[in-house]
Amino acid sequence: MSDLDDITDFLRARLGSGAQVIDTHISRVVIGPERAYKIKKPVAFSYLDFSTREKRAAAAETEIAINRRTAPAIYLGTRRISRAKRGGLELDGDGETIETIVEMRSFDQADLFDQMAQRGALTAELMTRLTEKLVAFHGEAAPDFELGGAEGMARILALDEGALAGSGLATPQRVAAFEGALREKLTEIAALLDARRAAGKVRRCHGDLTLRNICLFEGEPTPFDAIEFDERLGTIDVLYDLAFLLMDLTHRGLAGHANLVFNRYLDAADETDGLSALPFFMAVRASIRAHVTATQAKGATADKAEALRAEAESYFDLAERLIAPREKILVAIGGFSGSGKSTLAAALAPHLGPAPGARILSSDRIRKALHGIAATDRLPPEAYAPAVSERVYARMRAEAARTLSCGGAAIADGVFDRPRLAAAIEQVARDDRAPFAGLWLMATREKMVARIVARRGDPSDATPAVLDMQMEKGEAPDGWTRLDAARERVEILADALKVATRT
């Protein structure tokens, strides 16, 4: 029996007969009702080396330090597995240490975000709270001015190419075409990546931010299991860190969730300059998952190997789609309060522009940000004075212009019931020579009032009285497509997509 199996049996006996054992390609985790123990496997790959006891012990200590940044309540410390004089194993005994393991508080595996995604339990509220944690985590991490940048991504591509070539996921020609597209894009954005590093955007991040490494712990979205074995893989551009989550959500058919996370992140952090790199980052992440999953398939039992192989191929398919060029566009959605502008914007955004979709620029959210309050806090009436609204729409236009200049798509979400406001947002698209689509949502006063009074925790402060003032003085912009907003959401979205895609 190997030491790994011997240790596993010892820990299972300690945790009870119901203990669960989970294997990854680099670790084994033994999970009990209250505690879980992670054992590093004696393996070596191009990107990590756990080949000696000393290296595994160092990695265990580093894992505790790295993961206590996001999950301090889960990571308890390291423990020694020692050999007693009579040959049996002990925890922190006086005998020879044969392995150093990580001790954690356990949690229900059903609370992993990948499991929650499968049963449709990832709500917009949960994803928003997770995003807030990620913004704070990235903001608190110390900048690194040596690692990352274009050189760091070139190193990652080199590792990825070798692993992808040996995975057998696709023909050599297809793999070569994909790798060539990545290299070409890296050359295009190299100066940007170096500029972002110089601006402090490279930090010691999580590094492996997939849904499998996020859980709901004590009611809070909690990232865990960060990369501990290579500082170069963990010290990266913050958007490259975020890209793993965005890619994984997209892969699981949750493009709307990915776009939500993307928008809430950019609402809180000034990262618009990095938009042109984000589809590249996501494609690299998908490629990594493709060859890692293919490696797992090779070592799996026959019944699991086929499913893992199919999953690996789907990741590679996604990687190819992500790196393919997508056209930028500016869409403006106008209408009186309660007409459904924000709902349509959220539904439309994942379908526009490069992944993860359009940047949504909401007048309500911009107004709250200008006043330094949370999006769902209420503002006094003076915050809606004409001079303040001028600032709001000016900020919206500026951010739309920045997004277009980075090759992204943008959705401007505002009332737009004044001809000059509509003309000004149209001019943003003309200045960039980008396609433009203007949409005006129409509904009866009764319908709009019903939506307004039903709102809870919404960025809009509009009341029925505000709606009445809008309807008295406002008008639909000339040339914008009018959509009946009283219909089912899927019908409104279908018509909006037709307008946007034919522009």
Dihedral sign computed on CA atoms, order 38, 306, 122, 203: positive
State the pLDDT at residue 273. Answer: 96
- Dump the DSSP string for 185-213: HHHHHHHHHHHHHHTT-EEE--S---GGG
Q: How far is CA 46 from CA 49, 56, 83, 162, 281, in A?
A: 8, 16, 31, 9, 20
Number of Cβ within 10 Å of residue 162's Cβ equals 13
Instruction: Note down pLDDT in tens along the chain; length 503 residues.
Output: 478 999 999 999 999 888 999 988 789 999 999 999 999 999 998 778 999 999 999 999 999 999 999 999 999 999 999 999 888 999 999 999 999 999 999 999 999 999 999 999 999 999 999 999 999 999 999 999 999 999 999 999 998 887 888 888 888 999 999 999 999 999 999 999 999 999 999 999 999 999 999 999 999 999 999 999 889 999 999 999 999 999 999 999 999 999 999 999 999 999 999 999 999 999 999 999 999 898 888 878 888 888 999 999 999 999 999 999 999 999 999 999 999 999 999 999 999 999 999 999 999 999 999 999 999 999 999 999 999 999 999 999 999 999 999 999 999 999 999 999 999 999 999 999 999 999 999 999 999 999 999 999 999 999 999 999 999 999 999 999 999 999 999 999 999 999 998 86
State the pLDDT at residue 163. Answer: 82
State the pLDDT at residue 398. Answer: 98
In the chain, the domains with their CATH numbers are: 3-106 (no CATH), 113-323 (3.90.1200.10), 330-502 (3.40.50.300)
Intra-chain end-to-end CA distance of the chain, in Å: 67
State the pLDDT at residue 66. Answer: 96
Distance separating alpha carbons of residues 381 and 126, to the nearest angstrom: 31
Question: How many CA atoms lie within 13 Å of 149's alpha carbon, on the beta-carbon side?
Answer: 13
State the pLDDT at residue 168. Answer: 84
Distance separating alpha carbons of residues 202 and 330, to the nearest angstrom: 30
Q: How far is CA 167 from CA 230, 288, 489, in A?
A: 22, 11, 43
For 482-503, b where at least 16 C-beta lie within 10 A, e where not — what string?
A: ebebbeeeeebbeebeebbeeb
Model confidence pTM above 0.85: yes
Locate the DSSP E strands across 256-408: 330-334, 359-362
State the pLDDT at residue 1. Answer: 46
State the pLDDT at residue 86. Answer: 84
Q: Which residues, at least 6 apart from 485, have a Cβ–Cβ distance to it below 8 Å?
A: 335, 339, 340, 344, 441, 442, 443, 447, 492
